[in-house]
Amino acid sequence: MTVLVPSNSFAQLTFTLSLAPVLFCVGPQRGTGRAASDPFADATKGDDLLPAGTEDYIHIRIQQRNGRKTLTTVQGIADDYDKKKLVKAFKKKFACNGTVIEHPEYGEVIQLQGDQRKNICQFLLEVGIVKEEQLKVHGF
């Protein structure tokens, strides 16, 4: 079981700190003479049952900044492609700014200014980087 948290650092830090007391308070059970079982053991059992190719999706997300400003993030592009060259092409074609950031959970993520979800989908399909079934678009 995976818990998705907004990728901004403050929310992730708050979420991580709020779980810290819960994760580290598990100790031996009194009266049974044996150690407590892992309360999160069942959560990882279902991960083996995911369909093959699940990790091959490209996730396109949008995040609200302040006011009307938004960020579009692209996660899951194969390492075969140079992400910096893709960002350069995105910036030129969509007339926006962008960068490649290192996300602690998702790895290298492309970040673009504005709502570029449709543009990115069209571009990736036209160039042939991805098939339509592999795209997952998230957001409002």
Pairwise pLDDT comparison (135 vs 14), residue with the higher score: 135
* Amino acid 91: pLDDT: 96
For the chain, domains (ranges, CATH) are 58-138 (3.30.780.10)
Q: Kindly tell me the burial class for residue 85, based on how many C-beta atoms sit within 10 Å of its own C-beta (0-12, 13-18, 19 or more).
A: exposed
Q: Which of 97, 98, 100 is nearest to 109 (CA)?
A: 100
Task: Round to whole Å and give the CA distance between 108 and 73.
Answer: 10
Note the pLDDT tens digit of each residue in 56-98.
Answer: 899 999 999 999 999 999 999 999 999 999 999 999 999 999 9
Q: pTM here?
A: 0.60
**pLDDT tens sequence across 6-64:** 555 444 444 444 444 443 444 444 445 555 555 555 544 444 443 444 468 999 999 99
* DSSP secondary structure letter of residue 27: -
Q: Check if the beta carbon of residue 28 is closer than 8 Å to that of residue 35.
A: yes
